[in-house]
Amino acid sequence: MSPSGEQNLLIGVIGGSGLYHLENLTFVKEVNPETPWGFPSSPITIATLPSGTPVAFLARHGRAHQINPSNVPSRANIAALKSLGVRAIVAFSAVGSLREEIKPGDFVVPNQVIDRTKSIRPVSFFEGTGVVAHATFGDPFSESLTKVVVPLVKKALVREGEKSIDVHENKCLVVMEGPQFSTRAESHMYRAWGGDLINMSTLPEAKLAREAELSYTLIATATDYDAWRVSETPVTVAEVVKTLRANADASRHVTVTILEDLHKAVAGGAGVEEGSMQFSIMTAKEHQRAEDRAKLGYILPYFD
Ligand SMILES: CSC[C@H]1O[C@H](OP(=O)(O)O)[C@H](O)[C@@H]1O
Ligand SMILES: Nc1ncnc2[nH]cnc12
C-alpha cells in the first residue's frame, strides 16, 4: 500500500464517453487527490465488489463530460490513481471502426497504437523537469494484463439465449487530435497505415501509465465506421451517442463481471510493468534537482 493508499486497492478503471460511473458496487468514498500535476478529471470513487475487494473509478472527461479530449489532465489522472495504490488500469473508450468486420457495438482489446495527437498535450511526467527519461513503449498495452483481460471480456459478453457481442483482439488503434472527427482522406490513410480503430483519448494516457509503471489495458467499444465508407455519411455525434448507451451498459456489465478475477490476477503477479522505468532514466542522480526529485517521487520509487 502506498503512503496515501487504500488497503488492497489494485485496480483502477477509467471510464470514457458514456461511462461516467459504475453500477452494482458498494460505494465506500470519494477522493480527490491534488497531485504535482493538479487535480484529476473528476473525484475518484472507491467502491467494493461483493467480496469486499476495492476498486477505483475515474471519469476521463469529467462526470458531465465537460473536458475535451485534448484537455484531459492525464498526468493528474494517472498520478492520482498511482497515489491510491492502483497497480493496473483498465481503461474504456468509445472508438470509431476502420474495418468492416468491427461493427458498432463490438468490443475490441487492441495491442498497438499509432500516435496522431499533435504535441499539444503534455505527454510525459518528466516534461518541465531537468530529468530525461525514455520509457519503452513498443508494446503500448500491458501484454500480461491484456492476456488476462481478453478471455474475461469474452466470457462476460456471452449472453444466454441471445447473440453474444463480438470481441476482437490484436488490433491497432489510431489516436487522433480532436475535437473534430477525421476527414474521409484521413480515414482512408489510417486504414492504409494498418489502423483498425480510432479515438481521441488513449494517448498520452497509456504513455503516462507506462512512465508511472502502471499496467494499462484498453477495452474499446465501437460506436461508428468513422468516415471511410464511400457510400455512407461520415460519423456524427448523434450516431456515436446512439450506440454509446448500449455500449456503456455492456461495459458496466463487463467491468463488474471481470474485476474480481482481474484483482486476483494482479495480486498474483499479472501486469509486470513495475520496475520497467528503472533503467530508462538518463540523468544521473547527482545532476537531478531536489524539486524535480520530489515531484517525480510522487509516481516512481527512484527519487526518494
Ligand atoms: C463522443 S465521440 C469522441 C470521443 O469519444 C471517445 O472518448 P473516450 O475515449 O473517452 O471514450 C473519443 O476518444 C473522443 O474523445
Ligand atoms: N470516429 C471516431 N473518431 C475519433 N474518435 C471517436 N470516438 C468514437 N468514434 C470516433
* 211-252 pLDDT tens trace: 999 999 999 999 999 999 988 899 999 989 989 988 988 999
Helices (H), 48-120: 74-83
Does residue 202 have its Cβ closer than 6 Å to ligand 2? no
Cβ neighbour number for residue 143 with a 10 Å cutoff: 15
Structural domain range at position 94: 11-303
| Per-residue pLDDT tens digits for 126-172 | 999 999 999 999 999 999 999 999 999 999 998 766 778 999 999 99
22-31, 170-179, 238-247: range with highest mean pLDDT: 170-179
For residue 172, which of 213, 135, 136, 218 has the smallest C-alpha distance?
218
Cα separations in angstroms, 68 against 11, 19, 27, 97, 232: 25, 15, 27, 21, 27
ipTM: 0.99
Kindly state whether residue 67 falls inside one of the protein's structural domains.
yes
Kindly state whether residue 198 falls inside one of the protein's structural domains.
yes
Q: What is the CATH number of the domain that holds 186?
A: 3.40.50.1580
Kindly state whether residue 256 falls inside one of the protein's structural domains.
yes
Kindly state whether residue 4 falls inside one of the protein's structural domains.
no
Helices and strands (H, E) in the chain, number of each type: 6, 11
- Cβ pair 62, 160 in contact under 8 A: no
Q: Give the chain's domain count.
A: 1
The fraction of the chain above a pLDDT of 70, given in percent, is 98
Q: Is the pTM of this model over 0.90?
A: yes
Kindly state whether residue 1 falls inside one of the protein's structural domains.
no
Helices (H), 157-204: 184-193
Does residue 247 have its Cβ closer than 6 Å to ligand 2? no
Does residue 200 have its Cβ closer than 6 Å to ligand 2? yes
Residue 261 is among the residues annotated as catalytic for this protein: no
Residue 166 is among the residues annotated as catalytic for this protein: no
Kindly state whether residue 2 falls inside one of the protein's structural domains.
no
Task: For residue 299, give the DSSP letter.
Answer: T
Kindly state whether residue 184 falls inside one of the protein's structural domains.
yes
Residue 69 C-alpha to ligand 1 middle, in angstroms?
Answer: 7
